[in-house]
Amino acid sequence: MEDAAAVRRAARASVDDIEPERLRADLRAVIDDGSMVPGVVTVHVARAYDVEGDAVYDHAAGVQLIYDGLGLTRRLAAQEPWLTDDRETGDMHVLAANALVARGFYLLARTEAADAAVEVVQAFGRDETERRERGTDAPTLEADVLDLAVVAGAAVGGTAPTADLRALAGELAESLAAPFPPVRALDDHDVTERVRRDTGAFADL
Number of domains in the chain: 1
What does 77-136 look like in DSSP terms, one character per residue?
A: HHH-GGGGT-HHHHHHHHHHHHHHHHHHHHHHTTSTTHHHHHHHHHHHHHHHHHHHHH--
Of the two residues 134 and 158, the one the predictor is more confident about is: 158
In the predicted structure, residue 112 carries a pLDDT above the cut 90: yes
Contact by Cβ (8 Å): 155, 111: yes
Contact by Cβ (8 Å): 14, 65: yes
Of the two residues 61 and 192, the one the predictor is more confident about is: 61
Report the share of the chain in percent with pLDDT over 70.
91
15 phi and psi, to 5 degrees?
-110, 10
Confidence tier at 205 by pLDDT (50, 70, 90): very low
Picking from 140, 58, 137, 143, the residue whose alpha carbon sits closest to that of residue 103 is 58
Length in residues, the chain:
205
- Give the single-character DSSP code of 82: G
In the predicted structure, residue 164 carries a pLDDT above the cut 50: yes
Task: Tell me, yes or no, if the pTM score tops 0.85.
Answer: yes
Across the range 133-155, mean pLDDT stands at 86
- Give the single-character DSSP code of 160: -
204 lies in some domain: no
Q: What is the pLDDT of residues 34-66, one digit of tens each?
A: 999 999 999 999 999 999 999 999 999 999 999
CA-angle at 75, arms to 74 and 76, nearest 5°:
90
In the predicted structure, residue 130 carries a pLDDT above the cut 50: yes
Confidence tier at 203 by pLDDT (50, 70, 90): very low
123 lies in some domain: yes
Confidence tier at 1 by pLDDT (50, 70, 90): confident
Picking from 17, 35, 48, 45, the residue whose alpha carbon sits closest to that of residue 152 is 45
Across the range 11-15, mean pLDDT stands at 98
Across the range 98-105, mean pLDDT stands at 98
Containing structural domain, residue 53:
2-199
20 lies in some domain: yes
Give the number of other Cβ atoms within 10 Å of residue 77's Cβ.
11
Strands (E), the chain: none
CA distances for 76 relative to 34, 72, 94, angstroms? 15, 6, 8
12 lies in some domain: yes
CATH code of the domain covering residue 134: 1.10.600.10
**Sign of the dihedral through C-alpha 68, 131, 174, 184:** positive
Picking from 178, 203, 200, the residue whose alpha carbon sits closest to that of residue 70 is 178
150 lies in some domain: yes
**Sign of the dihedral through C-alpha 156, 158, 163, 164:** negative
205 lies in some domain: no
Of the two residues 196 and 117, the one the predictor is more confident about is: 117
In the predicted structure, residue 79 carries a pLDDT above the cut 80: no
